[in-house]
A and B are shown apart, each in its own frame.
Chain A
Amino acid sequence: MAEERITDQGAKDYKEFLHPVMVKNYGQWKYHEILKPGVLVHVADSGDKIYSVRVASPRLLSTVSIRFFMSVADKYCDGFLRWTTRNNVEFLTDKEENVELIIKAVNDDGWPVGGTGRTASNVVHTQGWVHCHTSATDASGIVKSLMDEVFEDFTSENLPGKLKLALACCLNMCGAVHASDISILGIHRRPPKVDYHLLGQICEIPTTIAACPTGAIRQDIVDGVKAMKIIEDQCMFCGACYTACPNMPLADALNDGVSIWVGGKIANARSKPGFTKLVVPFLPNNPPRWPEVIDAVKKIIQVYKDNGRKWERLGEMIDRIGWAKFFKLTGFAFTKYHIDDYKLATKSYNMSAHVRF
């Protein structure tokens, strides 16, 4: 190609993508209000207003739907739109009369409006079987099945406080689900199944050994042929070796499944940010709708609705009522897997006589 190759331009200037009212009032916003679920108004010191309409998306979007969103933005928002951290689309307009028109336009094409205030959020999630080689479950199918069931908790303010939902399809946690109110986490339960003979022939041995973060892969000689072996106790199912060597598949239909964790939080409001804690160690993959997983999450949401105080997050509610009562209310079995046995596990022991009867 005759043209000179352009590299390292970096990110485009966001200023050309901001609605003129946002440019004019940049850094001069005074307050905001939630007019109804999914609709915000921000008011500037100047008196100018910008309305935001928040629309759910499945994160996986076709260019067809993005072009549909663009047509709505052209019609009602002077051509401006944005996405949120939790994969919602937001339409931005300074014209109050356009708010209902935007809602109607997106609803007519099947897109719900909500996700603000005391609602269940859109589910931050990973790629799953749609695109990932280490996934222990699908992401999109569980998210779809869950949100179909709790749809009204997204579109109406039914909950005590915000409920942030997340799903990661393996321990690599591309979705960082370790700090959400309810997290669904895909888990592998057995180390890679390998044909030891083929291993050394198909894969580069030093590269594969180096790929393992815990040093669980060792060189071996089987029947006089160079091979590798896995110290199974040291494997924590990350899939890094599979990245280096396609003959070490981690996926295993019999043993892969889903675990459920609750009570994490990212915002600093009131209590400090914190991690999720385990409530259900294993549920099977049962596509297309994962009924066991959806039932468990719905149970948790119901307990939160029944027991949470206004503005209290799920983890804050559990801190107040105690884990024992939370397990009793949800009916989940408490097992040895719930007791931490990793670094600093003693920090989670009950080193007191505080017990509720």
Chain B
Amino acid sequence: MSDTPMMDELEKGPWPSFVREIRRAGKQSATARDLINILELSYKDKKTHWKHGGVVGVRGYGAGVIGRYVDDPVQFPGVAHFHTVRVNQTSGFVYNTKGLGEIMDIWDKRGSGMTNMHGSTGDLVLLGTTSEQLDPIFTDISQKGWDLGGSGSDLRTPSCCLGPARCEYACIDTLAITRECTNYYQDELHRPAFPYKFKIKVAGCSNDCVASIARSDLSIIGTWKDDIRIDQDEIANYVKGGGIDIMKEVVMMCPTQCIDFDGTKMEIDNSNCVHCMHCINKLTKALRVGTDQGATILLGAKAPIVEGAMLASVIVPFMKLEEPFENLKELIEALWEVWDEDGKNKERIGEFMERMGKGEFVEAVGEQLADGECGIEMTSQIDMINHPRENPYIFYDEYLEEEG
């Protein structure tokens, strides 16, 4: 009889098995072997056996490493320490075998051989090592040109979709923006000094393949201001091809009913287009995003803890984003300035904006930006909301006194 019957069960079936992965690593690593053992015990006890430990890290950084200890190090010495190292991934999660191989070699030498490709925020996560190995791992990856990502109350590792590297929908250079935000703000990323975490994600279009609107405090989503480009010949080819019912699957599914189609020719009322991407997604050969491209910037997404979950909401309806992205940096720094000044400990910027009121918040950020060099004007705009307020509890800034 196996010591790990439940783990054995999860090696069966057609979907790739995480148990097989841990066992593959276990051929070389006692840590991975004890990971299977502790997991079997968790399955038996129906609860976790991990404790959060003291502060661990690498010299000079306050972020990038998460400490983890097992609750019974005597029985499970292999996972007595099971710390995580967050390696800053590349923009768009792209690798070549040489670069990836460097990290694999270091990790086989100094850790469990287990990874997360990738963590929820985007880092390449090395899963399971000891306190003694942390600094050597950092030295080794540094010498190969890699660095650690964020953790704690800091700028978390920015991430993005594959953008213009492979996608015709990309309205902004997601990869360049992400790398610039990462490398320009290294101090903010490695040395936590914010009220709480701050995540940046960059999506090339509103399909949002990187889930920025749900998962990042600052969500940068590519869009365009001019007209959707239509290739009428390709529309005709779709009609001839018969693979798609354009009327039913495209025209009638447009959320603002802004498409006219007479069976051969397509016209779009671009002034009523909300840039949802549905028609372009369906007719990839015939329709293309416009050429006056930039981004809509949204603020405040977060998971439930503490004040409830939020999706990000519009803070700048449209902004041109071109290298070296000085206007974006100015905006980011203005947001941080206002949040840093009055944000409470463990208050995400979305919650802070809610507490302050979006109108007041926008005004405060606008005041910061007024001194900037990029000439960004930020005032209350109707695209920031779904509809004007419904309640009459208006906090008027001032009232008139009778003269004399």
Contact = CB atoms under 8 A, between A and B. Distances in A.
Contact of B183 (A11, A59, A289): A11
Contact of B60 (A5, A10, A266): A5
Interface string B4-45: 001101101111111111101101000010010001001101
Nearest to A135: B48
B151 to A, nearest CB: 12
Task: Give the one of A62, A134, A271, A275 with max B CB within 10 A.
Answer: A62
Interface in A174-192: 174-176, 178-179
Contacts of A274: 311
A130 B303 CA distance: 21
B113 interface: yes
A89 B94 CA distance: 10
A87 B120 CA distance: 9
Nearest to B120: A174
A249 B146 CA distance: 36
B120 A176 contact: yes
A61 B84 CA distance: 14
B164 A26 contact: yes
Given A42-B166, A131-B82, A132-B50, A268 B275 contact: yes
Interface in B376-397: none
Nearest to A289: B9
A118 B59 CA distance: 48
Main secondary structure of the interface of A (DSSP, over half): loop
Contacts of B113: 62-64
Contacts, number: 353
Contacts of A253: 45-47
A251 interface: yes
A321 B291 CA distance: 38
Interface stretch (A77-85, A219-227, A297-305): A77-85
B147 A267 contact: no
Contacts of A275: 309, 311
A200 interface: no
Contacts of B183: 9-11
B75 interface: no
Interface in A10-31: 10-14, 16-18, 22, 26-27, 29-31
A285 interface: yes
A112 B117 contact: no
A1 B284 CA distance: 56
B49 to A, nearest CB: 7
Contacts of B307: 343
Given A57-B117, A59-B117, A266-B211, A173 B303 contact: yes
A293 B116 CA distance: 24
A70 B214 contact: no
A252 B84 CA distance: 25
A3 B142 CA distance: 11
A273 B175 contact: no
A270 B253 contact: yes
Interface residues of B, number: 125
B215 interface: yes
Contacts of B46: 253, 256, 285, 287
A357 interface: no
Nearest to A242: B52
B357 interface: no
Contacts of A129: 39, 42-43, 47-50
Contact of A73 (B97, B175, B311): B97
Given A29-B164, A178-B304, A311 B21 contact: no
A144 B94 contact: no
B282 A311 contact: yes
A66 interface: yes
Task: Give the one of A110, A130, A132, A285 with max B CB within 10 A.
Answer: A130
A121 to B, nearest CB: 11
Nearest to A9: B147
Nearest to A175: B120
Nearest to A150: B15
A6 interface: yes
A87 B93 CA distance: 10
Nearest to B17: A144
Interface string A249-289: 00111001000000010111111011100000000010111
A8 B59 CA distance: 12
Interface in B145-189: 145-147, 157, 159, 161-162, 164-168, 170, 173, 175, 178-179, 182-183, 186-187, 189
A84 B128 CA distance: 23
Contacts of A140: 10, 18
Contacts of B114: 60-63
A232 B274 CA distance: 46
Interface string B131-145: 000000001001101
Contact of B277 (A12, A128, A267): A267
A99 interface: no
Task: Give the one of A127, A268, A275 with max B CB within 10 A.
Answer: A268
Interface stretch (B100-108, B260-268, B322-330, B331-339): B100-108
Nearest to B254: A270
B374 interface: no
A238 interface: yes
Given A58-B21, A62-B22, A87 B118 contact: yes
Contacts of A343: 307-308
Given A17-B96, A27-B164, 9 more contacts: A56-B16, A59-B118, A62-B21, A79-B96, A129-B49, A256-B47, A273-B208, A289-B9, A289-B10
Interface of B: 6-7, 9-10, 12-22, 24-25, 27, 32, 35, 39, 42-43, 45-52, 59-61, 68, 82, 84, 88-101, 104, 107-108, 113-120, 127-128, 139, 142-143, 145-147, 157, 159, 161-162, 164-168, 170, 173, 175, 178-179, 182-183, 186-187, 189-190, 206-211, 213-215, 248-249, 253-255, 274-278, 281-282, 284-285, 288, 301, 303-309, 311, 345-346
